[in-house]
Amino acid sequence: MHASLANSSLPSQVSIVEVGPRDGLQNEAAVSTQSKIEFIDRLSLSGLNHIECGAFVSAERVPQMADSTQVFAAIQRRSDVCYSALTPNLRGLEAAIDAGANRVAVFTSVSEGFNQRNIHCSVAESLKRFEALLALASKHHIPVRGYLSCVVDCPYDGATHPQKVASLAHTMAQMGCDQISLGDTVGTGTPVRIARMLDATLNHLPAHKLAAHFHDTYGQALANLYQALQMGIHVIDSSTGGLGGCPYAKGAAGNVATEDVLYLCQGLGIETGVDIHKVVDAAWYICGRLHKSPTSKVSNALKNSASD
């Protein structure tokens, strides 16, 4: 058993990008600013070293993120944690800089249908917007991540061709994004389709430039992640409690739950540096504020075993 693990192509450690406070809470009922701050502060104590805390987007379009400036102002920052935000345009970047975000992320889609609904422009127009943003971010020495949505399917345009993902990921990296996060936004992917998409993309970019961002609508996210890990991906986006989804991908569930990823990694002997119990604590805290239980199997299992 040990020997086969040692010989496998799995990485020895992974980095987790915690997107719960943004991707999670953008698609849940509104919670108070204070609850978000408490949620992020708890996550900061868990060993997670990258937390996406908010989004500087139109408050009319995504009201749940309208208090991002206040959230950034009040969280208890740790020097070993990167606190990042989504920035769709220059205005968003300026707000993120004022708020003291350590890192920002631009976002576009491989598909035109989703892009038009999400950010009201074509893929080409979105890239044009990013040019000015990347230039200003570079002036301020702020690294920019690039999200690419609908890498498997688009809710409006149907199946996505892997070559399109590869080519756009390459373009975004060439423009200056230091990492490309590949989003199965609708969560319809299965391991073989993920493998095809990654295979095409890895022909253009090395694995260390990529991250896996898988929503769990059909319950395939962990299987898809296992596939991605075997192909050398070692940055995983996940959302504590399995919260969220995207307002412009109707019916899409939240990201794979952080605690479920931690449990998988623990079982595979992959180092994460994160305390699963502290993440589970944060999951129950924020879900309590939302009057629901975490969708995460691990959060539920650990709570049940603790109450025995």
Q: Select from ligand HMG, Mg ion, none the partner in contact with residue 61, using the beta carbon and a kind-dependent cut-off of 5 to 8 Å.
A: ligand HMG
Q: Which residues contact 159 (CB under 8 A, 6 or more apart)?
A: 152, 153
Which part of the chain contacts ligand HMG (CB under 6 A), choosing from 89-97, 162-170, 269-277, 292-300? 89-97
User: Could you give the CA distance from residue 286 to residue 37 in angstroms, rounded to a whole number?
Assistant: 10
* Residue appearing with tokens 């609508």: 217
Q: Give the single-character DSSP code of 11.
A: -
What's the min distance (Å) between Cβ of 124 and ligand HMG? 14
The angle at the Cα of 17, spanning 12 to 19, to the nearest 5 degrees, equals: 150
Q: Of the candidates 92, 241, 254, 294, which one interacts with ligand HMG according to CB under 6 A?
A: 92
Query: CA nearest 130: which of 156, 100, 168?
Result: 168
Nearer to ligand HMG, 44 or 181 (CB): 181
Please report, as residue ranges, which positions from 181 to 220 form the binding site for ligand HMG (by CB under 6 A): 183, 185, 213, 215
Task: Count Cβ atoms within 10 A of the Cβ of residue 251 and give its class: 0-12 exposed, 13-18 middle, 19 or more buried.
Answer: exposed
Give CA–CA dist 145/79, Å, rounded. 20
Residue 278 tokens, joined? 């502290």
Closest to 136 measured CA to CA, from 168, 89, 203, 190: 89
If the CB atoms of residues 217 and 299 are measured against Mg ion, the closer one turns out to be 217
Choose which of 84, 149, 217, 227 interacts with ligand HMG (CB under 6 A): 149
By the rule CB under 6 A, 88 interacts with ligand HMG: yes
x/- mask, ligand HMG, residues 17-56, rule CB under 6 A, reads ------x--x----------------------------xx
Cβ–Cβ < 8 Å for 203, 166: yes
Please give the radius of gyration of the chain, using alpha carbons only, rounded to the nearest integer: 18
Determine the interface stretch with ligand HMG among 114-122, 152-160, 218-226, 279-287 (rule: CB under 6 A): 114-122
Q: Which two structure tokens, joined as six digits, stand for 154? A: 């688009």
What is the closest distance, in whole angstroms, from the C-beta atom of residue 95 to ligand HMG in the complex? 6
* Comparison of 223 and 268: residue with beta carbon closer to ligand HMG: 223
- Rounded CA-CA distance 90/118 in Å is 17
Give the residue with the Cβ less far from Mg ion, 23 or 216: 23
Contacts with ligand HMG in 59-78 (CB under 6 A)?
61-62
246 has catalytic annotation: yes
Residues at the contact surface with ligand HMG, assessed by CB under 6 A? 23, 26, 55-58, 61-62, 86, 88-89, 91-92, 107, 118-121, 147, 149, 183, 185, 213, 215, 246-247
- Active-site residue set: 246
